[in-house]
Structure 1
Amino acid sequence: MKPIIFDVDTGIDDALAMAYALHSPELEVLGFTTCFGNVAVEDATRNTLTVLEKLDRHIPVFSGANQTLNRGEKKKYPKHVHGEDGLGNTRKEVPSLQASQGNAVDFIIDQVKSRPHEITVIAVGPLTNIALAIKKDPKIMSFVKEVIIMGGAVRVPGNVTPFAEANILSDPDAAELLFSSGLPVTLVGLDVTLQTCLPKSKLGEWRASGKESAQFLAEMTDYYMKAYDSSHPGLGGCALHDPLAVGVAIDSSFVSTVQMNVKVVTEGEETGRTIGQPDRESNIRVCTQVDAERFVKHFLERVIRS
C-alpha cells in the first residue's frame, strides 16, 4: 500500500476523489488536510468530515490554511460550481465526526518525519499547506516521496482566466515556492483532466444502487454537472479533475508525462499561469496525455464500492 496524505479544499470533485481513494486498496490514507479554495477552510473541514461520515470511514482530518501565503484571505468562492455549502447544497446537518487536534502543516511534517521517503502527498486545492510545511521545515519536507498536484494549465487555457487554473490562481506564490523547492512533483493539470468525462447517465446508476453514499455522491454531482452545462455545453457530464490525481497515485500509467521546469506567473494579467519548458533534469513531471477511457472505467469501478 502507498501511504498518502490527501490535501483537499473539499468541494464536489474533491468528494468524488475522496471516495475513489478510500475505496482503492493500493492507497493507505494517513489523513486529510484541509485548505481554503472551493470554500473557506472551515467549510472544507466540515465537508471532509461529512464525506467521511457518508462513506462510513474514520480517517484523521486536520484543518489548515485559511488564507494565502502572502496575499491575505481569498475574497470569492465558486458557489455557482460547488453550491453554497461546497457540496451541491447537500449538507443537511453538522457531521458527528470531529476534526483532529493540531494543524495540517504540523501533521504533514510529523508524518513525513516518521516515514522518510515513503509518503506521497496528493494535493487537489491551493498549495498553501504544503508551501507552509516547506517553509517551516525544508529539511524534513525534502523526504517527501512525491507530490501529485491537481493544478495548472501548461499547454491549454486556464479555467478561471484565459491563463490560470483555479488551484494555482488561488495561491500562485505557494505554487511557485513548491515548484522551485526541488520536491518531486507530478502536475495533473487541465491538459489532461479536461479530457476525462463522467457521463450524466452514471448518476442514475448510482441512485439505483440503493447505497446511501452513492445517493449522496449522485445528488452533489448532479449540481456540479449543471454548472458544466453552462460552462461546457454539449459535454453531457463533468470532468474528473481531482479524481485523476488520485488515479495517477494508484496507477501512473493512466498518463504520459514530460519533465519540465515549471514557473508560475505571480504578477499582472497572467497571474497564476503555469509556464513549462522541457527539461530532462527537472524534478517536475507534467501530465500531457491521459488514457481517459481506461481511467474513467477504473474510477467508476471504485467510487461507489461498499
Structure 2
Amino acid sequence: MAPNKIIIDTDPGVDDVLAMLLALSAKPEELEILMLSLTFGNVEVQNCLRNVVTLFHYIEKERAWRIENGRPAGFETLDARKPIVAVGADEPLAEHMMVADFFHGVDGLGGIHHSHPHLSPEETWKSLFLPTPENMSEEEVAALHAVKDKHRLFTPSLKPAHEVMLEILAENEPDTVTIVAVGPLTNLAIAAAQDPETFLRVKEVVVMGGAVDAPGNSGLRLLNLRNQMTPGAEFNTYADSVASARVFALTCPNPRMTMPPVLKGHVKEQLPPYPEKLSKQLKLKLFPLDITEPHLLPAKLFEKYTTSPPIAGSPLAEWSTLFLTSTFQKNLSLNPQQDPTKLGLQLHDPLTIWWALSFEDAGWQFKTEDLRVETSGQWTRGCIVADRRGRPVSEGASELDDEVVGDAGGWRDSRRGNSVSWCTRSPGVDKFAGVLLERVFGALE
C-alpha cells in the first residue's frame, strides 16, 4: 500500500514537536511527509522555524548516536524523502496577534534556547531561508554549502508556505495529499482563497482545534499588551477565528452561507470570497479538545521510559527532557489542584498524527455535524457552535437562497450548513502514550 502523503501545518510548540517527531519516526511505507508548513501560534513564526531546525538537528544527532550504539537509526521516512520547510503566516487574518508563550515558553520550548543556548544549533541556518546573494566569493559559497550539508534532513524554501502548499497539491493527483493542521488555520485559509480549486485537490484536512461539547482552553497573551482567557474557545480556533471559519465553510455545499462576516473598516486586507460554484466540498476531520484532552503523556511514564536502557543518555531523550520537564511543571502551576504525582501533558497535536498513521484502525470513530466557528462574539470568539435543539435536519426542502422562517443561518437545511466529521473515539486513550514513546525513542530492550 502506498504511504499516506501528508503536509503538516504547525506552530511548534511543545506538543507540535512531539507530533512532528511521531510523524518523522514513521516508516516510509506509512507516511511520506511532503512539507512542514509554519505559522504563528504558540509563539511567533520565526521562533517556530528555529524549533523546527533544532528538531532536525537533534534527529541527526540521535541517528548518529543510535548507530554508534548498535541500534537502528530510525526516522526512516527521512531516507525516502526530505520534507520542505516553508515559513508562512506571521499574524492572523484579522484581530490582534495572539501567542501562547505563557505555557510553551518565550521560544516555544520552555525557554531552553535561552537557558541552554549551547544545545541550540548555530544560527548559520538562517542563511538557508534568505535569498542567495549575487557575486558570492568562493569562501562564501563553500560556507553556504557547509550549512546546507549540516542541515541536510530538510529542504528549505524561500516561498511562503501557502504557495508551496498549493504547488504540492497541484503536482500530486487529486485526493492523495492530506493536510494535518495543528496550529491556527491561517496558511490554509490564504491558500484556499488564492486558488480554491487547487486547494480542494486535498484528500482531507485534519485539524486539531475547537471544542465541541468540552470547555475551551484559550489562555493567550495579546502580544505586547495583556493576557486573555476565554471559557469556550480552544487556542487554535481563537488565535485566528476568521481563518478557521473560512476553512470550515469549504465543507458547506455553498460556502458563502457559513462564511464569516466581513469586518468593515478593518485595516487588514480582507481575503476574497469563494466563487459561487466550487467543484466539491472539503473533507475535514476535526480533533477537538473533547477527544485530545484525555490522551495524556504521564510525566512518570516519560521519565521512566527515557531513563531506561538503551534509551538513557540519547541526544533526543536529553533534549526532550529539558522542555518537557518545564512543561510538566507549568501544567502544575496552572492547575494547582492537580495531584503532583499525576503530572502529564495532553497530547493534542500528536493525536492527529496517530490518525494519519492508523486511519484504517476500526477503533477510530467520528460524528458528522454542522459545526461553525464564531468570529465576532465578545465572549465567544473562536468557539465551535453546533445545533443542539434536536430537531430533524431538512434534506433540501427549500430553495438554497431562500431564508426559511425561524431558521436564521440555515441550520435546519443540510445544503446550507457545514459538514465536519469530529473524532469521538480513538483506538485507545491509555494506549497512545506508549505508542508515541516507542515510535519516537525506540523500543526498550
Mapped to 1, the partners of 2:199 and 2:367 lie a distance apart of 24
CA distance in 2, matches of 1:10, 1:262: 26
Structure 1: how far apart are the matches of 2:333 and 2:214?
20
Q: What's 1:33 paired with?
A: 37
Gaps of 5+ in 2: 61-77, 129-155, 219-229, 252-281, 396-413
Residue of structure 2 in register with 1:102 after alignment: 159
Secondary structure of 2:83's partner? coil
Unaligned runs of 5+ in 1: none
Amino acid at match of 1:284: V
In the alignment, does 2:261 pair up with 1:190?
Answer: no
Q: Which residue of 2 aligns with 1:168?
A: 237
Cα shift at 1:277: 4.3
Q: Aligned AA for 2:102?
A: H
Aligned counterparts, 1:43-192, within 5 A? 43-56=47-60, 58-71=82-95, 73-74=96-97, 76-91=98-113, 92=117, 93=120, 94=122, 97=125, 98=128, 99-115=156-172, 116-160=174-218, 161-182=230-251, 183-192=282-291
CA contact (8 A) 2:296 2:345 kept: yes
1:262 partnered with 2:286 = no
Residues 302, 437 of structure 2: 8 Å contact kept:
no
User: CA–CA distance in 2 between the matches of 1:287 and 1:227?
Assistant: 28
CA distance in 1, matches of 2:180, 2:49: 16
The TM-score normalised by the length of structure 2 is 0.65
1:16 deviation in Å? 0.6
User: CA shift at 1:294, angstroms?
Assistant: 2.6
Q: Is the 8 A contact 1:40 1:66 kept in 2?
A: yes
Identity %: 32
**Equivalent position SS for 2:349:** helix
**Kept after mapping to 2: 8 A contact 1:23/1:305:** no
1:81-107, Cα deviation, whole Å (9 max, x unpaired): 111211112232345544422110011
1:274 aligns with 2:343: no
1:8 aligned residue: 10
Contact kept? 1:203, 1:222, Cα under 8 Å: no
Is 1:220 equivalent to 2:278 in the alignment?
no
Distance 1:264 1:301, change over 3 A: same
Contact 1:172 1:271 in 2 (8 A): yes
Distance 2:167 2:49 in 1: 20
TM-score (norm: length of structure 1): 0.93
1:7 partner letter: D
Judge conservation of contact 2:99–2:239 (CA < 8 Å) in 1: no
Larger radius of gyration between Structure 1 and Structure 2: 2
SS of aligned partner of 2:106 = coil
- Aligned residue number for residue 351 of structure 2: 244
What SS does structure 2 have at the residue aligned with 1:67? Answer: coil
1:139-178 Cα distance to aligned partner (Å, 9 max, x none): 1011100111111000100001211000000000000000
1:239 and 1:184 mapped to 2: Cα distance?
Answer: 26
Inter-partner Cα distance in structure 1 for 2:356 and 2:314: 26
Distance in 2 (CA, whole Å) between partners of 1:277 and 1:11 is 33
Corresponding pairs, count: 304
The amino acid across from 1:50 in the alignment is T
Of the three residues 274, 299, 302, the one matched with 2:439 is 302
